[in-house]
Amino acid sequence: MNPVFRPLRELAAALRARRVSAVALAETFLERLERLGPRYNAVVTLTRARALAAARRADDELAAGRWRGPLHGIPYAVKDLLATGGGVPTTWGAAPLRGQTFDADATVIRRLDAAGAVLVAKLAMVELAGGMGYRQPNASFTGPGISPWARDAWSGGSSSGSGSAVGAGLVPFAIGSETWGSILSPAAYCGVTGLRPTYGRVSRHGAMALCWTLDKLGPLALTADDCGLVLEAIAGRDPADPTTADRAYRYDGEAGAARSFRFGVLRGVTDGCEDAVRENFERSLRTLEGLGTVEEVSLPELPYDDITRTILFAEAASAFEDLIESGGIAGLTAPEDRYTAYARDAILAKDYVKALRLRGVMAREVDRVLARLDALVAPGRASVAAMLEGEFRSAIRGTARDVMGAVGNGAGLPAVAVPNGFGARGLPTSLQFMGRAWEENTMLAAAAAYQSVTDWHTRHPGEQ
């Protein structure tokens, strides 16, 4: 079988039936990562020896009839902000940290190991997950992330390699992180499915901290179903991360079958979107009307973007205090990343606390709206991928508005982004579903229902 661009359940069935070996899968994807990864600036480190050892172990267990679950023997890769032991570097995408190593694996990697998944690579990312204020795609020591859909298009960020590696068929799934947009943006620009879990659903232990109260880890994969399978493996309480919730998570892959959904659309949510993004979203709404109801809703006027941006800037300034104060940021790749963070000393403590107080108001207001809906839907991004050269607009820098992102990340809510068409230059566009806290299964069910009646997620780029 050709294992490239196959959903996880298909790969799992082939492995379990011994129609393909875990070693063969690992070798296939290692070869693709090595050969094609440089085209997209997607890979930082191949973990070949570790991968082949894990794959041999999986084959032995499967031959002995010990099946760990649907990820057993399946290759995957992680954004290079997740710590790996064994001397494998963890660079955070930053040139000054190219040689950084840690003693142990991040909790997410340990959990995927326990599920029998096979780590094949660590993937490129925007330096320091974009926390220093980058304005251009070229903001990583590995070069700008490139979308598999066009050599001159950005992959999105900050989980750049996680998006492009899945979109180019270099791995079946990858782990990314989101503080504000870092899973949904590469999912949109690379034409894949991305899941941002509820804050506290997945342990951040061993992950680079950008903002302690905003950071979330989640999967990028080909389908919503794939994302659900991965989430079940990585979710759950972790004593090493006190912000993880004591809530068990079981993915319910049948949750969307034969049910009707109540979708809401924020008034004015397509303001500022490119024409093709708006048209594709409107077509998506017509599709969603076949799966349930769609109604317009509104949130009270609050400075949503300012609330989340203040929290992000203040926490990032503290998280990277050493690098900033020492002048170490001068070694970063994007020129603006070498000085932008200095301005954040201007955030006063009482303004940060005010943002945290307003966050509570924001969380209550959006929950009030979501309580009578299954999901808010919106374009995943307002535009297709930016060109590699030049600046892009960003809500984080205040040059664009992103109420869904500000509210979703500020309130810690889950969201799923799925491909929903193509726009300018033949680049993919995206549809996002955002729901109440802990409603990942509802978001995944809605996204899976959408994918059951559309085929955008089955379209893949050629080898650019």
Partner 1 sequence: MSEAERAAEEVDELFALVRRRYGARLTAEELEGVRRGVVAIVAQVAALRAVRLSNADEPVQRFTPFRADG
Using CB under 8 A as the criterion, which residues of the chain lie in contact with partner 1 when the complex forms?
133, 213, 242, 302-303, 306-307, 309-310, 313, 327, 330, 336, 338-340, 342-348, 351, 353-361, 363, 397-398
> Helix (H, G, I), strand (E, B), or coil: what is residue 123?
strand
- In this complex, which beta carbon is closest to partner 1, that of residue 101 or of residue 213? 213
Exposure class string for 224-258: b at 16+ Cβ within 10 A, else e: bbbbbbbbbbbbbebeebeebbeeebebebebbee
Least distance to partner 1, CB of residue 197, Å: 18
Q: Which is nearer to partner 1, 50 or 344 (CB)?
A: 344
**Of the two residues 27 and 336, which places its CB atom closer to partner 1 in the complex?**
336
Residue whose structure tokens are 């500022």:
272
Please state at what angle helix 8-16 crosses helix 22-36, rounded to 10 degrees: 140
- Rounded to whole angstroms, how far apart are CA atoms 442 and 155? 28
Q: How far is the CB of 391 from partner 1 (least distance, A)?
A: 13
Residue 217 or 411: the one with the smaller Cβ distance to partner 1 is 411
Q: Least distance in Å: CB of 200 to partner 1?
A: 10
Residue number, 257 or 361, with CB nearest to partner 1: 361
Residue 116 contacts residue 71 (beta carbons within 8 Å): yes
C-alpha 218 chain-centroid distance: 6
Specify the DSSP element, H or E, that contains 93. none
Please check whether residue 228 is in contact with residue 213, taking contact to mean a CB–CB distance below 8 angstroms.
no
Phi–psi pair at 332, nearest 5 degrees: -75, 165
Closest distance of CB 303 from partner 1, Å: 4
Residues 6+ apart with CB under 8 A from 445: 224, 252, 255, 256, 259, 261
Contact present, 227 and 416 (Cβ < 8 Å): yes
**CA nearest 319: which of 181, 207, 212, 205?**
212
Residue positions annotated with a catalytic role = 79, 158, 182
Residue placing its CB nearer to partner 1 in the complex, 202 or 307: 307
Question: Could you give the 3-state DSSP secondary structure of residue 247?
Answer: coil
3-state secondary structure of 412: coil
- Token pair, residue 105, equals 């694996």
Nearest distance in Å: CB 385, partner 1: 25
Q: How far is the CB of 395 from partner 1 (least distance, A)?
A: 12
Q: Tokens 């040139």 belong to which residue?
A: 95
Is residue 125 a contact partner of residue 160, using CB atoms and an 8 Å limit? yes
- Residue 337: which of 140, 134, 156, 157 has the closest Cα? 134
Q: How far is the CB of 210 from partner 1 (least distance, A)?
A: 17
Strand ranges (E), 330-439: 375-379, 415-422, 428-434
Nearer to partner 1, 276 or 356 (CB): 356
Whichever of 291 and 324 has its CB closer to partner 1, that residue is 324
CA distance 279 to 259: 26
**Shortest CB 29 distance to partner 1, Å:** 40
Number of other CB atoms surrounding residue 389 within 10 Å: 11
Q: Which of 103, 76, 79, 107 shows the shortest CA–CA distance to 93?
A: 79
Least separation, in Å, of the C-beta of 167 and partner 1? 33
Cβ distance to partner 1 smaller for residue 292 or 328: 328
What DSSP state is assigned to residue 356? Answer: H
DSSP letter for each residue of 135-169: -SS--STT---B-TT-TTBB--SSSHHHHHHHHTT
